[in-house]
Amino acid sequence: MAHRLRQFQRRHGRYLREGDLSELAQDSKAPLSAWRSVAGFFEEFREPTLPATGDRSCGDLACMLALGKEAPNPADGGEVLACLGRCHHAPVRVDRHGELHFRDTPNTVIGRCLAPESRLTRPSWEKETDACVAILGREKNRAAAIRKRLKAVAGLDRHRKKRGRTLTERWFEVADAKAEQRFLVCHADAGNPGATGSAWLLQYRAHAVIDGMVLASWLTGAKEGVICVHHDLPEVFTAVEEALSDAIAAGKLREGQFEISVIATFGSHVGGEETALLNAIEGKRGEVRIRPPEPETSGVFGLPTVIETAETFALLPGWLASEEDMGHRLVTLTPPFSRPGVVEIDASVSLRGVSREGTSFLKTKNYPRALLLGGPFGSVVFSEDWDLRLDAEILAERDFSPGHWGLAPLPMEADLSVLVRGWLEFAARENCGKCAPCRLGPLAALEMLDSHDLRGRHRFREILETIAETSLCGFGRDFPRPLRQLIEKVGIDWIYDGPPAD
């Protein structure tokens, strides 16, 4: 349904009306209530109520920090939008004509490298991935050859765990499933502010991502692949479509063997949750699914599905060629860093090292209060931990989550109460509404934030703990973490009353 709605909206060049939904329901023989449900869930289909100025600002973390005291406050009637996918150009706004306006930051499109050996940002990387596909394509039993090499990759189990399971466990489960059809999903829109690394890869290294998906299809037996791209990034769609045409011409993609389609996500942060994304791919509301079953067992249309980031697929040829995973990742540096953009790291690089790449603040009076690692689903890291290496296991030992591996400084002058309110407004606006902790918890926390008695402050902490412990999916379990870390460090009174007097 979501895809039909998008096609209708593009064809008519306007937002959906009640009569449009009735027409679609009549044509499809599906209930009108089902069309209303899907159209009402995704922000892309809803006509906004323009503020007096006619401008609407991105209301997510990177843009809030970049705007500082000028950030719109929804409590005061300020109009905000979901993430527009251009966090390294923050702040971003949309005028009354629908035109995007953002900061023109030099060199943000250039992938910089801090790792001892570059891979994803290496200009020749696509040629190397192409060579790997050619070599393994000549194997008599491709699946067995790739499985053998993947088992031998040193460091893979350490650096690519997800939901407590290694990459080989997840992929081999799909490969060994008794099913006639399997799917690969390239998750290139994590839905989190600051998560632009996958979009960068698809725009500038799309061939490498496709090569990785081809190799994964040989291993798992998948015949269909899907690449999910943020709907506000037409330049990424163009790059992917061109790369797909090249792959078809080269014989890597063939009808009946392995085909890839590219679809738009629909502007919902919870769509970054894997099972919510699967529902959106099927054209349903982007609500999370109850687990188990996991996507490897019951994914797209209930079939075994591998779902990974563009980064994982782009790195796969290199792992198979070198039999080593050094923990390479793309970190997105967002304003107020003075040098935002995409930076390649490996597990040997520290938080301090990445921060130095983003700005020279460590040697100036503009020393940040903390570093925000992984956006609203990550962690708040204070200066005593900046020498930690960006290794997922090392971070987990200190109870830090890297989230989507974005990084932003929290300025010393930042108003923490505004930041916390923005976090909660984000959670209230972007959750799928399926479970009560996510649906009601952020609203209750906002109410407590406006309470000035001691009981309200105690209840504020309790609400965050309850959301984290009882939420259905990672959205609710993860977003309270940075708030709780911030409160633990600076104290709840600072959030309510501001910094103590000198």
**Average pLDDT for 449-473:** 85
Residues 223 and 357 in one domain: no
Identify the residue whose tokens are 């008794």.
178
Structural tokens at position 433:
């509404």
Report the distance separating Cα 264 and Cα 475, nearest Å.
21
Instruction: List beta partners, residue 410.
Output: 370
Three-state DSSP class for residue 223: coil
Q: What pLDDT score was predicted for residue 467? A: 93
Residues 346 and 299 in one domain: no
Residues 397 and 449 in one domain: no
Position 110 in a domain = no
Report the distance separating Cα 465 and Cα 34, nearest Å.
34
Per cent of the chain over pLDDT 70 is 75
Residues 403 and 426 in one domain: no
Residues 420 and 406 in one domain: no
Q: What pLDDT score was predicted for residue 416? A: 81
369-397 pLDDT, tens digit per residue, is: 888 898 888 899 998 999 999 998 899 89
Helices (H), 17-166: 18-28, 32-41, 61-67, 125-137, 142-151, 156-159
Residues 256 and 136 in one domain: yes
Report the distance separating Cα 456 and Cα 111, nearest Å.
46
Instruction: State the Cα angle at 464 between 424 and 82, rounded to 5°.
Output: 25
Q: What pLDDT score was predicted for residue 452? A: 73
Position 390 in a domain = yes
Higher pLDDT, 287 or 190: 287
Higher pLDDT, 234 or 481: 481
293, 322, 351 - which closes a domain: 322
As for how many domains the chain has, the answer is 4
82-131 pLDDT, tens digit per residue, is: 666 666 676 777 766 667 666 665 555 567 888 888 888 888 899 999 99
Evaluated on CA atoms 480, 486, 490, 493, the torsion sign reads negative
Say whether pLDDT at 271 is over 70: no
Higher pLDDT, 260 or 369: 260
Instruction: Choose among 228, 226, 243: nearest CA to 184.
Output: 226
Q: What pLDDT score was predicted for residue 194? A: 62
Average pLDDT, the chain: 81
Position 113 in a domain = no
Domain containing 370 — which CATH number?
3.10.20.600
Residues 310 and 340 in one domain: no
362, 388, 410 - which closes a domain: 410
* pTM across the whole model: 0.84
Position 108 in a domain = no
Say whether pLDDT at 476 is over 80: yes
Position 112 in a domain = no
Q: Return the axis-axis angle of helices 206-220 and 310-322, rounded to nearest 10°.
A: 70
Position 502 in a domain = no
At 363, the pLDDT band (50, 70, 90 cuts) reads very low
Domain that holds residue 94: 2-102
Residue 97 falls in which region: left (phi positive, over 0), alpha (psi -120 to 50) or beta: alpha
429-448 pLDDT, tens digit per residue, is: 778 788 899 889 999 998 88
Question: β-pairing, 224-229 with 100-102?
Answer: unpaired
Contact 227, 263 (CB under 8 A): yes
Position 359 in a domain = yes
Say whether pLDDT at 52 is over 50: no
Residues 34 and 61 in one domain: yes
At 23, the pLDDT band (50, 70, 90 cuts) reads confident
Residues 204 and 57 in one domain: no
Residues 172 and 310 in one domain: yes
E-strand stretches of 352-405: 370-373, 379-381
**Average pLDDT for 318-341:** 88
Contact 465, 441 (CB under 8 A): no
Residues 299 and 169 in one domain: yes
**Average pLDDT for 220-227:** 94
Residues 480 and 384 in one domain: no
Structural tokens at position 225:
């692949």
- Helical (H) or strand (E) element with 200: helix 197-204
At 12, the pLDDT band (50, 70, 90 cuts) reads low
Q: What pLDDT score was predicted for residue 59? A: 64
Lowest-pLDDT range of 207-221, 312-326, 419-433: 419-433
Position 107 in a domain = no
Lowest-pLDDT range of 49-53, 220-224, 233-237, 318-322: 49-53
Residue 448 CB partners (closer than 8 Å, separation 6+) = 456, 457, 459, 460, 463
Question: β-pairing, 100-102 with 92-94?
Answer: antiparallel
298, 322, 346 - which closes a domain: 322
